[in-house]
A = this chain, B = another copy of it.
Amino acid sequence: MSPKYTIGIDFGTLSGRAVLVRVSDGAEIATAVSEYANGVIDERLPESGIRLEPDWALQDPDDYIRVFAEAIPAVLRQGGVSADDVIGLGIDFTACTMLPTKADGTPLCRLPEFRANPHAWVKLWKHHAAQPEADRVNAVAAELGETWLPRYGGKISSEWFFPKALQILNEAPEVYEAADRLIEAADWVVWQLTGVETRNTCTAGYKAIWSKRDGFPRREFFRALHPRMENIVDEKMKRELSPIGSRAGSLTPQMAELTGLRPGIAVAVANVDAHVSVPACKVTRPGTLVSIMGTSVCDMLLETREAMVEGMCGYVEDGILPGYLGYEAGQSCVGDGFAWFVEHCVPPQYFDEARSSGRSIHAVLEAHAARLRPGESGLLALDWWNGNRSILVDADLSAVMLGMTLATTAPEMYRAWIEATAFGKRVIVEAFTSKGLAIEEIVACGGLPEKNKLFMQITADVVGLPIKVSASSQTPALGSAMFAAVAAGSTAGGYDSIEAAAEHMAHLKDETFTPNPAHRPIYDQLYAEYVRLHDYFGRDAGSTIKKLKRIKLTVHG
């Protein structure tokens, strides 16, 4: 029998990436990227040229369809694989990225009467214009004592589903009325592939306040939010959710024609880019923290035990893998912070050195910083350039550095910033372990583990846990391909569980970053000081950092 394949598609912010994966061993046979023609729409609507307000970020749903049309044939061609051997398709998406559609799935923005209405388009995850609506959601939930509020750390974000829905209702009631469905783009593309409307438990749980036990928020809450929203779930959504790891349906003949795949092959329920990476990191049970390390860092943990862990972004039953609570935490700025340092704080001599030695500026700084011993610079920093997501959940915080002298150098500061992000990670790990949720190791994926070995080693030293690294550089797409294999099932040549898929298809590198015992005592001392500053500046509503933010806002008026 010829080998079987699945295709995973990762819908990112600027493009979709398809990866053709061999089911037997997870080998990534071919990759193709399709850029969204309209990218992120944040200035003017296509065609009409309608100007958008600040903080808006839209997308064109037809760009997603073009990913199917372009990238799937491309990987088949590149991989030299027959469509007969592709048994399934899975996707993951940014979230909450949502849109209004008609009952048949037609996006409102495709209709001529709504084409020039910004609210008819896809609201991208980073559409931040629904902050007043988020404030209202939080205020009403607090006032009514909604029980789900604490599960999300007491506050939901303007990026989430209901603030975006409420913004449509407030600002374009005609769009809200015309929308038969309000749906995550993740679920919408699966609908387009299968002809069946499903809604996945992951986006619903993390972004639309759904829980397996309690479902969506009650009608009274929605009514208090806005009288016309009372029945939003029944009118424009769905109460039946499809668990991660199940089959949404089969590929329609039309989509088979568009993509070159065979009609009827399995399509998995949609997933979120971060969460789908967990099994792609070969993690299918508790005890291992999965850390997606890039510009920011997302940490995920599977657990069977329920615990109120401080400052988590939320925990969702069946949110990551069926049968487990999925806990999510994160650091809002890591790689971005290092990039800021390199752009704004590094003197010319290091750029000269990079040029003359043919290395990147990061490599030069890393080489200098690696020669330093922990504690020798006398520096300590708080890594809050973009606030603190976990565990303080506070966007008003900002970064701090202490200990500079006339002898302080740029590599010393670079290392101090790296150490600060490692201390931030340890705070998150200890938030879990202090509630009895064990963490024995970390598995990392994303761009940073490749780019910055010093960051990896320092994180291991500071946190005191071994760090393994995913062998794949495209874990979200690999994870989607794995879920596609599960949706296909063993009878079709796939697997019957995500655990089985992970066992065969996910791989880790041989390299493990092991904590250096010689570094631990000094890092323990520095960490104690980090925590002291973290609490001093972070937990007091009147702290100097908060005051500086208030003064800044006053000045900016």
Copies of this chain per assembly: 2
| Contact of A386 with B by CB under 8 A | yes
| Contact of A3 with B by CB under 8 A | no
Q: Would you list which residues of chain A between 352 and 391 have a CB under 8 Å from chain B?
A: 373-380, 385-386
Q: Are A402 and B347 in contact (CB under 8 A)?
A: no
Which of B336, B378, B554, B556 meets A548, CB within 8 Å? B378
Point out the residues of chain B lying under 8 angstroms from A552, CB to CB: 375-378, 403
Point out the residues of chain B lying under 8 angstroms from A408, CB to CB: 340, 344, 385
Which of B348, B406, B529 meets A351, CB within 8 Å? B348
A374, chain B: closest CB distance, angstroms: 7
Which of B347, B404, B529 meets A547, CB within 8 Å? B529
Known: A348-B351, A377-B552. A544 touches B522 (CB 8 A): no
1/0 per residue, CB under 8 A from B, across A517-557: the answer is: 00000100110010011001100000011011101101110
Which of B345, B386, B526, B549 meets A410, CB within 8 Å? B345
Docked Cα-Cα span, A537 to B399, in Å, equals 17
Point out the residues of chain B lying under 8 angstroms from A48, CB to CB: none
Which of B378, B385, B522 meets A405, CB within 8 Å? B385
Point out the residues of chain B lying under 8 angstroms from A526, CB to CB: 548, 551
Point out the residues of chain B lying under 8 angstroms from A549, CB to CB: 378, 403
Q: Are B544 and A529 in contact (CB under 8 A)?
A: yes
Q: Are A337 and B400 in contact (CB under 8 A)?
A: no
Known: A343-B347, A345-B410, A348-B351. A555 touches B374 (CB 8 A): yes
Which of B348, B374, B398, B402 meets A404, CB within 8 Å? B398
Q: Are A554 and B410 in contact (CB under 8 A)?
A: no
| Contact of A346 with B by CB under 8 A | yes
Q: Are A380 and B345 in contact (CB under 8 A)?
A: no
| Contact of A401 with B by CB under 8 A | yes
| Contact of A409 with B by CB under 8 A | yes
Point out the residues of chain B lying under 8 angstroms from A344, CB to CB: 347, 408-410
Most buried by B among A340, A400, A404: A404
| Contact of A333 with B by CB under 8 A | yes
Which of B403, B406, B544, B556 meets A533, CB within 8 Å? B544
Point out the residues of chain B lying under 8 angstroms from A545, CB to CB: 402-403
Docked Cα-Cα span, A378 to B400, in Å, equals 12
Q: Are A406 and B532 in contact (CB under 8 A)?
A: no
Q: Are B406 and A385 in contact (CB under 8 A)?
A: yes
Q: Are B386 and A551 in contact (CB under 8 A)?
A: no
Which of B345, B402, B548 meets A529, CB within 8 Å? B548
Docked Cα-Cα span, A343 to B413, in Å, equals 14
Q: Are A544 and B375 in contact (CB under 8 A)?
A: no
Known: A351-B348, A386-B405, A404-B400. A544 touches B373 (CB 8 A): no
Point out the residues of chain B lying under 8 angstroms from A547, CB to CB: 525, 529
1/0 per residue, CB under 8 A from B, across A234-272: the answer is: 000000000000000000000000000000000000000
Point out the residues of chain B lying under 8 angstroms from A378, CB to CB: 398, 548-549, 551-552
Known: A525-B551, A544-B532, A551-B526. A556 touches B376 (CB 8 A): yes
Docked Cα-Cα span, A522 to B557, in Å, equals 13
Docked Cα-Cα span, A404 to B399, in Å, equals 5
Q: Are B377 and A522 in contact (CB under 8 A)?
A: no
Point out the residues of chain B lying under 8 angstroms from A386, CB to CB: 405-406
Most buried by B among A337, A347, A529: A347
Q: Are B529 and A373 in contact (CB under 8 A)?
A: no
Q: Would you list which residues of chain A between 173 and 224 have a CB under 8 Å from chain B?
A: none
A404, chain B: closest CB distance, angstroms: 4
Which of B340, B348, B398 meets A402, CB within 8 Å? B398
Docked Cα-Cα span, A331 to B424, in Å, equals 34
Q: Name the CB-closest residue of B to A526.
A: B551
Point out the residues of chain B lying under 8 angstroms from A551, CB to CB: 375, 378, 522, 525-526
Point out the residues of chain B lying under 8 angstroms from A410, CB to CB: 344-345
Q: Name the CB-closest residue of B to A549.
A: B378
Point out the residues of chain B lying under 8 angstroms from A351, CB to CB: 348
Docked Cα-Cα span, A203 to B202, in Å, equals 76
Point out the residues of chain B lying under 8 angstroms from A336, CB to CB: 406
A sample of 28 cross-chain residue pairs with beta-carbon separation below 8 angstroms, ordered by A number, consists of A340-B404, A344-B409, A344-B410, A345-B347, A347-B347, A347-B348, A348-B348, A373-B555, A375-B551, A376-B556, A377-B552, A378-B551, A379-B548, A380-B544, A385-B408, A398-B405, A399-B405, A400-B401, A401-B404, A402-B544, A402-B545, A402-B548, A403-B545, A522-B555, A525-B551, A529-B544, A529-B548, A532-B544
| Other contacts beyond A378-B551, A402-B545, A533-B544: 8, CB < 8 A | A337-B406, A344-B408, A344-B409, A345-B345, A399-B404, A401-B401, A525-B547, A529-B544
